[in-house]
Amino acid sequence: IFIESSFAKENDQNLAFTPSFSSILDTLHLGISTNTPVILEGMPGQGKQTAINCLANMLGFNVINIIISKTTKTEDLLGKTTIVRDNDDIMHVKLIQTKLVKVLKSIDESQKTIIVFHNLNNASAAVLSILNTIFDQNQKNLLLKDGTIVKMKKIYLVGIFNPQNGIYRRDKLPSSLIYSSIYYIVDNPQE
């Protein structure tokens, strides 16, 4: 069934609100409503990113996408430090900010932002440890490498886990990350 809504007209597109797609939307909306991170697990092409963008457009949210690859290091998420000299030849530690750090520092309470971490299946143990801290709802502050503290403002987090070769491997993620989130497995249409 194709539903032509005012949302679809504004964006010049029609979406198929299948039971699976509607279920993803419901899960995402539950996460936003309860300020609980959401992890979506499912094969590529099942509408995970489309659902995120659809809900963000309907609710007036910004979406920030962060891609995790097998070579992603903790510095790629939280920045790395470098030593710089000022005009008086005094050395200082400077943080080279990443996209994530810039977003975390710039968001104020009035902004509605969803940060999507793609390909959690590619994350190393060190990167998963950082993500575990970020996804922890009880974590109020994040310590950066230069010693500055970023307050964890009201942001909405979504992780996307793409199983490899059609094998669902939820056990790849730390249990603390799974239990601090709403974990949703997208129905596999081939089964």
Give 91-126 pLDDT, tens digit per residue: 888 878 888 888 888 777 667 889 999 999 889 999
* Single-letter amino acid, residue 57: N
- Tens of pLDDT, residue by residue over 166-190, are 565 667 788 888 888 898 888 755 4
Q: Of 102, 48, 41, whose CA–CA distance to 77 is shortest? A: 102
Single pTM value for the model: 0.81
Supply the Cα-derived Rg of the chain in whole angstroms: 18
